[in-house]
Structure 1
Amino acid sequence: MKNILRPSRVLLLIGSLLLVFTLILNSKLPAIQFDLTEQKTYSISQNTKNILNSLNKPLELFFFYSSNHVKTPGTTDEYAKRVKALLKTYEHEANGKLTLHIIDPMPFSDEEDKADLLGLQSMPLPDQGTHFYFGLAASDANRETHAISFFTPEREVFLEYEINRLIQGAAQVKRPMTGLISSLPMNRRFDERTQQTLPAWMWLQEVREQFDLTTLSPDVDQIPEELGSLILVHPKQLPEQTLKAIDGFVQNGGKLLVFLDPISELELKQEAVNPTGRETSSALPKLLKAWGVQMLPERVLGDGLYAMSAVLKPGQQSISHPFFIKLPKDSMNQADASTLNVESINLSTAGILEPIQGASTTFTPLLQSSTKAMPFDLARLNEKRRLSELMSEITTSDKRYVLAARIEGLADSAFAQQEAGSETEPKERARIQVVVVADTDILDNRMWVKEGNESDSQAPQVWSDNAAFVVNILSDFHAQSALLNPRSQPRIQPTFTRIEKLIEENEERFREKTEKLETLLAQTDAELTALYALSPPTETEEWTPNGTTTQADHQESQQIRKSLRDLQLQLNNEIASLGRTIKLINIFTIPLLLLLIAIYVKRRHPR
Structure 2
Amino acid sequence: MKYKRLLSGSGILLAAVLAVALITIGNNLFTGVRLDLTENKLFTLSPGSINIITGLDEPISLDFYVSRKTMADFPQLVNYANRVRDLLEEYAAKSGGNIELSVIEPEPFSEEEDQAVASGLNGIAVNAAGDRAYLGLVGVNSTDDEATIPFFQASREDALEYDITKLIYNLANPEKRVIGVMTGLTLFGDPAQGIRERWAIIDVMEEFFEVRNIGADTDYIDENVDVLMVVHPKNFAEEALFAIDQYLLRGGHAMLFVDPLAEGDNAEPDPANPYVMPDMSSNLNIMLEGWGLEVGTGEIAADINLAMRVQTQGARGPQESNYLPWLRLEADNLERQDFSTSELNLIHMGTAGVIDLKEDANIEFAPLIRTTADSMRMQRDLIFFQRDPNVMLSNFESGNTPLVLAARISGTVPSAYPEGVLIEDEEEEAAPVEDIVKEGRVDVILVGDTDILADHFWMRTQNFFGVQIPQSIANNGDFVINTLENLAGSTDLISLRSRGEFSRPFTVVEQIRRDAEARFRAQEQELQARLQETEQKIAQLQQEGGEGALLLSQEQAAEIEKFRLEQIRTRKELRAVQHELQKNIERLGTQLKFINIGLIPLIIALLAVVAGMQRARRKA
TM-score by length of 2: 0.56
Specify which of 428, 433, 441 is matched with residue 430 of structure 1: 441
Question: How far apart in 1 are the matches of 2:291 and 2:155?
Answer: 36
Q: Secondary structure at the match of 2:353?
A: coil
SS of residue paired to 1:144: strand
SS at match of 2:268: helix
Name the residue aligned to 2:5. none
Q: For 1:156-555, what aligned pairs fall within 5 Å after superposition? A: 165-186=166-187, 187-189=189-191, 199-267=197-265, 270-271=268-269, 279-289=279-289, 293-305=293-305, 306-312=307-313, 316-318=317-319, 319-333=321-335, 336=338, 338=340, 344-357=346-359, 358-365=361-368, 367-381=369-383, 386-394=388-396, 399-407=401-409, 409-415=410-416, 423-424=434-435, 429-430=440-441, 432=443, 434-449=444-459, 459=468, 462=471, 464-465=473-474, 468-469=477-478, 471-473=480-482, 476-477=485-486, 480-481=489-490, 483=492, 514-517=506-509
Report if aligned partners of 1:230, 1:256 keep a CA contact under 8 Å in 2. yes
CA shift for structure 1 position 223: 1.0
CA–CA distance in 2 between the matches of 1:162 and 1:206? Answer: 13
2:182–2:216 Cα contact (<8 Å) kept: yes
> Once the 2 structures are TM-superposed, how far is the Cα of residue 234 of structure 1 from its aligned partner?
0.8
Report deviation, 1:220.
0.9
Alpha-carbon offset, residue 443 of structure 1: 2.9
Aligned residue identity for 2:233: P
Q: CA deviation at 1:212?
A: 2.9
Question: Which residue identity lines up with residue 212 of structure 2 in the other structure?
Answer: T
Comparing 164-173 with 327-336, greater Cα deviation is found at: 327-336
CA shift at 1:397, angstroms? 7.4
The separation in 1 between residues aligned to 2:594 and 2:288, in whole angstroms, is 44
Change (3 A) 1:53 1:514: closer
Q: Distance in 1 between matches of 2:491 and 2:174?
A: 18
CA–CA separation in structure 1 for the residues paired with 2:456 and 2:595: 35
- SS, match of residue 492 in structure 2: helix
Post-superposition CA distance 1:115-151 (Å, at most 9, x none): 9x988999xxxxxxxxxx9998745444422589579
Shift, 1:298, TM fit: 1.8
In structure 1, how many angstroms separate the alpha carbons of the residues matched to 2:18 and 2:490?
48
Post-superposition Cα deviations, 1:37-87, rounded to whole Å, max 9, x if no partner, equal xxxx98986995577445345342759999x99999xxx99x999967862
Q: Distance in 2 between matches of 1:105 and 1:452?
A: 26
Q: Aligned pair in 2 of structure 1 residues 21, 189: CA closer, same or farther (>3 Å)? A: same
1:212–1:375 Cα change, 3 Å? same
Which residue does 2:94 correspond to in 1?
A: 90
User: Shift of residue 303 of structure 1?
Assistant: 2.5
Q: Deviations over 1:7-49 (max 9, x none)?
A: xxxxxx9xx99995687446863535899xxxxx989869955
What is the DSSP-based 3-state SS (H/G/I as helix, E as strand, rest coil) of the residue aligned with 2:260?
Answer: coil
1:176–1:212 Cα contact (<8 Å) kept:
yes
Tell me the C-alpha RMSD between the 2 structures: 6.0
Cα deviation, 1:473-511, whole Å, max 9, x if unaligned, reads: 3652476546278799999xxxxxxxxxxxxxxxxxxx9
CA contact (8 A) 1:267 1:280 kept: yes
User: Using the alignment, how far apart are the partners of 2:67 and 2:406 within structure 1?
Assistant: 36
In the superposition, relative to structure 1, how do residues 383 and 490 fare at CA in structure 2: closer, same or farther (>3 Å)? closer
Letter in 1 for 2:485: D
Q: 1:351, 1:359 → 2: CA distance?
A: 22
Report the AA paired with residue 217 of structure 1. G
Cα distance in 2, alignment partners of residues 70 and 447 from structure 1: 34
Aligned mates of 1:274, 1:211 — CA distance in 2: 45
Letter in 2 for 1:473: N
- Which residue number in structure 1 is paired with residue 148 of structure 2? 145
- Alpha-carbon deviation of 1:222? 1.0
1:377 & 1:440 partners in 2: Cα distance?
Answer: 18
- The aligned counterpart of 1:592 is none
Size of the aligned set, in residue pairs, is: 470
**Contact 2:62–2:137 (CA under 8 A) maintained in structure 1:** no
Partner deviation per Cα, 1:305-352 (whole Å, 9 max, x = no partner): 323313258984333321133334554445555458866443321112
Is the contact between residue 482 and residue 494 of structure 2 (CA under 8 Å) also seen in structure 1?
A: no
Distance 1:145 1:341 in 2: 25
- What is the letter of the counterpart of residue 91 of structure 1? S
Assess, with a 3 A threshold, how the Cα gap between structure 1 residues 172 and 463 changes in structure 2: closer, same or farther: closer
What is the SS of the residue equivalent to 1:203? helix
Q: Report the Cα distance in structure 2 between the residues aligned to 1:517 and 1:270, rounded to whole angstroms.
A: 42
How far is 1:230 from its partner? 2.0
Helix, strand or coil at the partner of 1:261: coil
1:260 is displaced (CA, Å) by 0.7
Q: Matched residues in 1 for 2:154 and 2:219: separation?
A: 44
Q: Percent identity between the aligned chains?
A: 19
Q: Distance in 2 between matches of 1:448 and 1:489?
A: 14
Give ranges in structure 2 of 5+ residues lacking alignment: 1-13, 37-42, 125-133, 421-431, 516-581, 605-620
Mapped to 2, the partners of 1:490 and 1:184 lie a distance apart of 32
Letter in 2 for 1:381: I
Letter in 1 for 2:303: D
Cα pair 1:165 1:483 within 8 Å, conserved: no
Aligned residue identity for 1:317? P
The one of the two structures with greater contact order (alpha-carbon pairs below 8 A, sep at least 6) is 1
Distance change (3 Å), C-alpha of 1:443 and 1:197: same
The residue identity in structure 2 corresponding to 1:438 is: G
Q: Which amino acid aligns with 1:442?
A: I
Question: Secondary structure of the equivalent of 1:265?
Answer: coil
- Amino acid of the structure 1 residue aligned with 2:449: D
Matched position secondary structure for 2:57: coil
SS at match of 2:236: coil
Query: Using the alignment, how far apart are the partners of 2:310 and 2:253 within structure 1?
Result: 36
**Aligned partner of residue 280 in structure 2, secondary structure:** coil
**Rg larger in 1 or in 2?**
2
Residues 18 and 386 (structure 1), Cα distance of their counterparts in 2 relative to 1, 3 Å cut? closer
Q: Residue 314 and residue 135 in structure 1: after superposition, are their counterparts in 2 closer, same or farther (change >3 A)?
A: farther
Q: Partner letter of residue 282 of structure 2? A: S
